[in-house]
Chain A
Amino acid sequence: MSGFDPSLLLTVDWPEIGTATLDTLTMLGVSLLFTIVFGLPLGVLLYISAPGQLRARPRLYAVMSFLVNVLRSLPFVILLIVLIPLTLLLVGTSIGVAGAIVPLVVGAIPFFGRLVENVLREVDRGVIEASQSMGAKLPQIVFKVLLPEAMPGLIGAATVTAVALVGYTAMSGVIGGGGLGDLAIRYGYQRFQTEVMIVTVALLLVLVQALQTAGDALVRRCRFG
């Protein structure tokens, strides 16, 4: 491969890059939102039902844990294809940005749920016990103790999940999902347009950096004292 000529950047189809950026941000935003909405309760459920925990249900836990592991062990590309019928059912299309969101969410929920479970396990047992000694009911323990006490860790988990989702969106090109990753693969890789590759990778880098920085700042803000 010869050296890269910076003047090629002028030939980049910037409007298409713009659309792709917007697509990536849409996929990321919407799927992150749904991942948190479904993944957080999953994580809480995993935590409280685990053996020895607040509402230990060892069999339920074993089943949930197994399903989470199954979904996490499937390569995302496979998940994209396997889920086409479900996607059709839920959003009416299996392609484009809308079609990508369902597999993104399904792929990220178990990932985020497991992270949440681990974060909650770090909450001081003594504090939970203290709230039990004061007569706290389970929902009060979850909403007034577990989640607030684990907040820095939960934001950290959401940040990690957001970054992982950026990676997943790149693969959604397989089903015509669009976005920056898709562009990088189609133009940069398949058509040897290195300049497109460089621009998209740079944008993805900026996006991941921005997510991590924002996440870290949030964690710092709500770290306690």
Chain B
Amino acid sequence: MIEVRNLSKHFSHEGRSIAALDDVSLQVAAGEIYGIIGRSGAGKSTLIRCLNLLERPDSGTVTLGEQELTALPEAELQLRRQRIGMVFQHFNLLRSRTVAGNVRFPLELAATLSPAQMDARVDELLQLVGLADHKDKRPSQLSGGQKQRVGIARALANHPDLLLCDEATSALDPETTDSILALLADINRQLNLTIVLITHDMRVIRQLCDHVSVMDHGKVVEKGSVLDVFLQPQHAVTRSLLAETGFGQGERVDAWRARIGVPLLKLTFVGEPTLSPVLDKVGRETGLRVNLLSGTLSEIRDTPCGQLLVGVVASDVELPALPEIFAREGVRCEVLA
């Protein structure tokens, strides 16, 4: 669906050149939700703005379907953009228009529908985002979450095949964030719409995304399925971003080991085993007694999963035999002796 190849972009700041994007490549499959995460200044914002060429990269290509956007002349690019929706952190609604007027705006730009058809489409979209009752209000009369719903309805107006979300929930409180994420997940399912989002919040990735790229200093430092990245983070930046979610506590292992002085096990649960008494079962079979040190049980998108760090207090079997025993129960076990 989207193929980003060797994208680079430099900004000059006070005479120095700063690489906002440094040879970034990634692929997004049709119909998936793809997350790009990084701390502020990592270049994720520049990257998403390069996807619809609001920002022109210095080098590299962006291909959408069969079309290389970076090679399109301005007029064709404008036409193509009508079918790439974008949702913004600060909503960017027209203050001079009502809710309905804002949703109608992209339809007016495209000018392919009759006025009556536009009105019908606006009603349909407001229904979809649950704002049918607020049609005639001004943006200033809406809450943050409602504004973002207008933003989403507007982005969907011209039946886009790609939706870009630029920190769409970063200005919202946690509850509102959840409702907007649920709406995005809904839209992704209902319309089979590809979504690319950037965020600095791992919760957004965990709840919504199929694949994720982690960015740092203009580079993609890690990418993969969200499950893999959460459960087996490879890069220090990923681990630090994961710290607040309870996943990927890799760097804490050494501290625990030193303090407790027993071998540690890292147990990773994905899917069904997460909900089964695996630890208890293995304990009965092998005499394994553990000291629970830290961990989290959660859901990544709709998959239950979890990760536990335990200290081995006693065991009737040799430690190296444990991974296989756990594997039989569908649990990945790493011995951190």
- Chains A and B bind each other: yes
Residues of A within 8 A of B (CB): 124, 126-127, 129-137, 140, 144-145, 148-149, 151, 222, 224-225
Q: CB distance B92 to A225 under 8 Å? A: no
Q: CB distance B97 to A148 under 8 Å? A: yes
| Nearest Cβ on chain A to B24's Cβ, whole angstroms | 20
| Nearest Cβ on chain A to B100's Cβ, whole angstroms | 14
Stretch with Cβ within 8 A of A (4 or more), from B78-86, B194-202, B237-245, B297-305: B78-86
**18 residue pairs A–B, Cβ–Cβ below 8 Å:** A127-B92, A127-B94, A127-B95, A129-B88, A130-B93, A135-B106, A135-B109, A136-B78, A137-B78, A144-B108, A145-B94, A148-B94, A148-B97, A224-B140, A225-B95, A225-B137, A225-B138, A225-B140
* B105 sits at the interface (CB 8 A): yes
7 cross-chain pairs, A with B, having the tightest CB-CB distances, nearest first:
A225-B138, A225-B140, A135-B81, A130-B92, A135-B82, A126-B92, A224-B95
Q: CB distance A133 to B139 under 8 Å? A: no
| Nearest Cβ on chain A to B159's Cβ, whole angstroms | 13
Chain B residues near A137: list those with CB within 8 A.
78, 109
* B54 sits at the interface (CB 8 A): yes
* B52 sits at the interface (CB 8 A): yes
Assembled-state Cα–Cα distance A136/B158 (Å): 13
| Nearest Cβ on chain A to B73's Cβ, whole angstroms | 13
Neighbour of A130 across the interface among B78, B86, B108, B110, CB < 8 A? B86
* B127 sits at the interface (CB 8 A): no
Question: Which residue from chain B places its CB closest to the CB of A148 in the assembled complex?
Answer: B96
Q: CB distance B109 to A136 under 8 Å? A: yes
Neighbour of A124 across the interface among B92, B140, B141, CB < 8 A? B92
Residues of B within 8 A of A (CB): 52, 54, 77-82, 84, 86, 88, 90, 92-97, 105-106, 108-110, 137-141, 154, 158, 164
Known: A127-B93, A148-B94. 12 other contacts (CB 8 A): A124-B92, A126-B92, A127-B92, A129-B54, A133-B52, A133-B84, A134-B82, A135-B110, A144-B109, A145-B94, A224-B140, A225-B139
Check A126/B90 contact, CB under 8 A, given A135-B78, A224-B138.
yes
From B52, B95, B154, B158, residue with most partner A Cβ within 10 Å? B95
Q: CB distance A131 to B109 under 8 Å? A: yes
Chain A residues near B84: list those with CB within 8 A.
133
Chain A residues near B96: list those with CB within 8 A.
148-149, 151, 222, 224
Assembled-state Cα–Cα distance A131/B107 (Å): 12
Q: CB distance B95 to A126 under 8 Å? A: no
Check A225/B88 contact, CB under 8 A, given A136-B78, A148-B96, A149-B95.
no
Assembled-state Cα–Cα distance A136/B109 (Å): 6
| Nearest Cβ on chain A to B97's Cβ, whole angstroms | 7
Chain A residues near B95: list those with CB within 8 A.
127, 149, 224-225
From B84, B105, B138, residue with most partner A Cβ within 10 Å? B105
| Nearest Cβ on chain A to B17's Cβ, whole angstroms | 18
Neighbour of B109 across the interface among A129, A134, A224, CB < 8 A? A134
Question: Which residue from chain A places its CB closest to the CB of B157 in the assembled complex?
Answer: A134
Chain B residues near A135: list those with CB within 8 A.
77-82, 106, 109-110
Q: CB distance B54 to A132 under 8 Å? A: yes
From A134, A136, A144, A145, residue with most partner B Cβ within 10 Å? A134
Chain B residues near A134: list those with CB within 8 A.
81-82, 86, 105-106, 109, 154, 158
| Nearest Cβ on chain B to A139's Cβ, whole angstroms | 11
| Nearest Cβ on chain B to A83's Cβ, whole angstroms | 37
Chain B residues near A133: list those with CB within 8 A.
52, 54, 81, 84, 86, 164
Assembled-state Cα–Cα distance A130/B49 (Å): 11
Chain A residues near B158: list those with CB within 8 A.
134
Question: Which residue from chain B places its CB closest to the CB of A127 in the assembled complex?
Answer: B92
Chain A residues near B109: list those with CB within 8 A.
131, 134-137, 140, 144
Chain B residues near A130: list those with CB within 8 A.
86, 88, 92-93
Assembled-state Cα–Cα distance A126/B93 (Å): 9
| Nearest Cβ on chain A to B148's Cβ, whole angstroms | 13
Chain B residues near A144: list those with CB within 8 A.
105, 108-109
Check A131/B105 contact, CB under 8 A, given A145-B94, A225-B141.
yes
From B52, B88, B109, B164, residue with most partner A Cβ within 10 Å? B109
Assembled-state Cα–Cα distance A213/B82 (Å): 42
| Nearest Cβ on chain A to B196's Cβ, whole angstroms | 13
Assembled-state Cα–Cα distance A137/B90 (Å): 22
Chain B residues near A148: list those with CB within 8 A.
94, 96-97
